[in-house]
């Protein structure tokens, strides 16, 4: 449940107190009817999320209040007492200073209440991102030459605290795990939900299940809310893979990405906080400009996103346990953040139109038709891994990016 929107009301000294009360009471009633949880705060009481421009003559009051405020400037305006003219002047001044700002009209014949409800959700995502401990377990894989942002960049642009954890901790936890307890329960549950088990042997399944327990213990030890794992070190060091472990964490509600890819896993986190369910990180494999479709594939995916799955080996190594899943057709969203300071984003509405079973690709394969030109991935790429979420969230992602991330 999002926290209440904290509103600071501003009025000119010339505005009668009865008029101020009439405006604030009217706004409160409208927001309550629209289901927008909120509370009014006073100057000096603490942080606020939005300014209610009660009257004209508040321009300097607003700019002064916003000097110490964090984040975008959200101004609530109404059709009386020169509220809108003042709000227009305030936002114009903010734009000259490079400050993101938005006016929301609340009143007759406006859709402001609905717009404000959406902003409340986006601000809640921002709060939760800023409270996230994001574990980079092992260094990013060597091939991610465009996907190695600093902890300072991650925190400054998106909010999470990036915590570096040695991959050796997972290896140590794996070696200390009791294979007869937790691993057995994990193996039984995963095998029981699968259509079939192809390449993995019982020993492969046991080892992959032990990685689940090992990774969970490291996550708990460091109090992580999200993580990305240098998973190919498990292939070379333990002759198994982390695909099942990442899938398990995703099904438990934790964001877990592959290959130490921070920008892609951060995209997964962004999407999960907005949509309420896990997302699929994958490699773009092929595109068809005529049909505007893109093929995606990876060996790990949250099983609760799938209509069915079977257990295969990991594609590149033929070791461990990979997941070959099938997505139901339907609306979706494809996204990826990147750029030198992580302020760029590719976002497109999409439709899942098929699943594949090619032996020359990672095990879970899905074809999506994009609303944006698929050739943008060739002309303005932000990196390899892209992230697919079920449902059309493109408009809200773009609004979040425009208001809270992109430079004006």
State how far the alpha carbon of 230 is from the alpha carbons of 103, 142, 216, 227, in Å: 44, 10, 15, 10
Whether 100 and 216 map to the same domain: the answer is no
Q: Picking from 171-175, 275-279, 286-290, 367-371, which range would have the lowest pLDDT averaged per residue?
A: 171-175
pLDDT of residue 406: 85
Q: Please check whether residue 255 is in contact with residue 278, taking contact to mean a CB–CB distance below 8 angstroms.
A: yes
Q: Are residues 160 and 84 in the same domain?
A: no
- 235 and 159 housed in the same domain: yes
pLDDT digits (tens, 9 = 90+) for 162-183: 999 999 999 999 998 766 667 7
My answer on whether 147 and 80 are in the same domain is no
List residues bridging with 105 in a β-sheet: 77
The domain total for the chain is 2
Judged against a pLDDT cut of 90, whether residue 285 lies above it is answered with: yes
**Burial group, residue 64, by CB count within 10 angstroms (0-12, 13-18, 19+):** exposed
pTM to 2 decimals? 0.92
Adjacency order of strands within the sheet including 50-53: 38-41, 5-10, 50-53, 73-77, 101-105
Length of the chain as a residue count = 408
Same-domain status, 108 and 182:
no
Residue 110: pLDDT above 70? no
* Domain end marker among 96, 130, 164: 130
What is the pLDDT averaged over residues 156-161? 96
**In the predicted structure, residue 109 carries a pLDDT above the cut 70:** no
106, 130, 154 - which closes a domain: 130
CATH number at residue 106: 3.40.50.10940
> 92 and 176: one domain?
no
Is 40 found in the same domain as 14?
A: yes
Closest Cα to residue 99, out of 78, 141, 70, 128? 70
Q: What is the mean pLDDT of residues 330-348?
A: 96
Please tell me the predicted confidence (pLDDT) of residue 112: 66
| Structural domain boundaries, residue 350 | 133-405
- CB-based contacts of 315, cutoff 8 Å, min separation 6: 299, 322, 361, 362, 363
In angstroms, the CA 123 to CA 120 distance is 5
DSSP 236-303: HHHSS-SHHHHHHHHHTT-EEEETT-HHHHHHHHHHHHHHSS--EEEEEEEEETTTTEEEEEES---G
* Same domain? 208 vs 305: yes
Interval 35-52: pLDDT, tens: 888 899 988 788 899 999
Same domain, 126 and 147: no
pLDDT band at 68 (very low <50, low <70, confident <90, very high): confident
Residue 192: partners with Cβ closer than 8 Å, 6 or more residues away: none
- 3-class SS at 215? helix
Domain boundary among 64, 95, 130: 130
Say which CATH number the domain at 162 has.
Answer: 3.20.14
Q: For residue 329, with 0-12 CB atoms within 10 Å meaning exposed, 13-18 middle and 19 or more buried, which class applies? A: middle
Tell me which of 380 and 183 has the higher pLDDT.
380
The pLDDT value recorded for residue 179 is 63
pLDDT at 253: 96
């Amino acid at each position: 449940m999002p926290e209440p929107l904290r509103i600071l009301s501003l009025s000119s000294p010339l505005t009668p107190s009865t008029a101020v009360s009439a405006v604030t009471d009217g706004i409160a009633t409208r927001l309550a009817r629209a289901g927008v949880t909120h509370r009014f705060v006073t100057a000096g009481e603490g942080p606020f999320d939005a300014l209610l421009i009660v009257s004209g003559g508040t321009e300097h009051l607003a700019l002064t209040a916003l000097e110490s405020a964090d984040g975008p400037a959200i101004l609530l305006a109404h059709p009386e007492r020169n509220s809108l003219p003042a709000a227009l002047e305030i936002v114009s001044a903010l734009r000259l200073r490079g400050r993101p700002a938005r006016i929301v009209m609340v009143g007759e014949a406006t859709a402001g209440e609905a717009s404000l409800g959406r902003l409340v959700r986006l601000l809640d995502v921002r709060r939760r991102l800023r409270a996230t401990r994001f574990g980079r377990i092992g260094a990013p894989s060597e091939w991610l030459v465009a996907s190695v942002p600093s902890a300072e960049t991650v925190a400054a642009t998106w909010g999470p605290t990036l915590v570096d954890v040695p991959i050796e901790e997972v290896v140590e936890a794996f070696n200390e795990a009791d294979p007869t307890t937790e691993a057995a329960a994990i193996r039984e549950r995963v095998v029981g939900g699968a259509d079939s088990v192809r390449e993995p042997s019982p020993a492969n399944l046991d080892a992959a299940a032990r990685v689940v327990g090992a990774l969970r213990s490291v996550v708990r030890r460091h109090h992580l809310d999200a993580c990305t794992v240098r998973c190919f070190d498990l292939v070379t060091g333990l002759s198994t893979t982390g695909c099942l472990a990442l899938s398990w964490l995703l099904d438990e509600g934790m964001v877990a990405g592959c290959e130490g890819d921070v920008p892609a896993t951060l995209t997964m986190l962004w999407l999960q906080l907005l949509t309420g369910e896990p997302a699929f990180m994958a490699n773009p494999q092929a595109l068809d400009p005529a049909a505007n479709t893109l093929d995606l594939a990876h060996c790990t995916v949250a099983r609760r996103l799938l209509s069915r799955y079977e257990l295969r080996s990991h594609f590149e190594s033929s070791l461990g346990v990979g997941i070959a899943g099938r997505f139901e057709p339907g609306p979706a969203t494809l996204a990826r953040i990147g750029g030198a300071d992580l302020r760029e984003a590719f976002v497109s509405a999409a439709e899942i139109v098929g699943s594949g079973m090619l032996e020359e690709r990672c095990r879970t394969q899905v074809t999506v038709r994009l609303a944006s030109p698929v050739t943008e991935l060739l002309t303005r790429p932000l990196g390899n891994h892209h992230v697919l979420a079920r449902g059309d969230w493109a408009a809200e992602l773009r609004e979040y990016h425009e208001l809270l991330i992109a430079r004006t």
